[in-house]
Amino acid sequence: QVQLVESGGGFVPPVGSLTLSCIASGVTLDHYAIGWFRQAPGKEREGVSCISDRGTSTYYLDSVEGRFTISRDNAKNAVYLQMTSLKPEDTAVYYCAAVLRPRELVLLPYEYDTWGQGTQVTVSS
């Protein structure tokens, strides 16, 4: 099982930027798809972005399309989520999650097996 740790969250003003990191230990990520998810208070966890094992396919939640960018560096066992033009509605705990060799790249929480502990992102003036 891969172990994931998120970092990079914080408090930022609207239109600000933040980059989250997801670092894996135990195994290399070269056969894992990785997703970023978020959960705001009182809301269900929702998919934000995901990336295929080789990084050739990516998907984004419509509301973050054009503002967020997911990337990975398998040699470093790392996945990143670069967030720009942040809005208050982006406020949530952000999680990275991994699934081994999925049949299809999806942005659904229940499709992912291994989760990090989460990192808080707060967008407020």
Angle (nearest 5°) at CA 7 between 3 and 11:
150
pLDDT given at position 2: 80
Q: Which residues contact 100 (CB under 8 A, 6 or more apart)?
A: 31, 32, 113
The model's confidence at residue 77, banded by pLDDT at 50, 70 and 90, is very high
Helix-, strand-, coil-residue percentages of the chain, each rounded to 5: 10, 50, 40
pLDDT given at position 104: 87
Share of the chain above pLDDT 70, in %: 99
Check whether 16 has a pLDDT greater than 90. yes
pLDDT given at position 70: 98
Mean pLDDT within 21-47: 95
Our separate counts of H helices and E strands in the chain read: 0, 11
pLDDT given at position 103: 84
Q: What is the pLDDT of residues 86-104, one digit of tens each?
A: 999 999 999 999 999 888 8
Instruction: Look over the chain and give the mean of its residue pLDDT values, rounded to a whole number.
Output: 95
Compute CA 62 distance to the chain's CA centroid, rounded to the nearest angstrom.
15
pLDDT given at position 27: 84
CA dist 50 and 84 (Å) reads 17
Q: What is the pLDDT of residues 45-64, one digit of tens each?
A: 999 999 999 899 999 999 99
Do 123 and 88 touch, CB atoms closer than 8 A?
A: yes
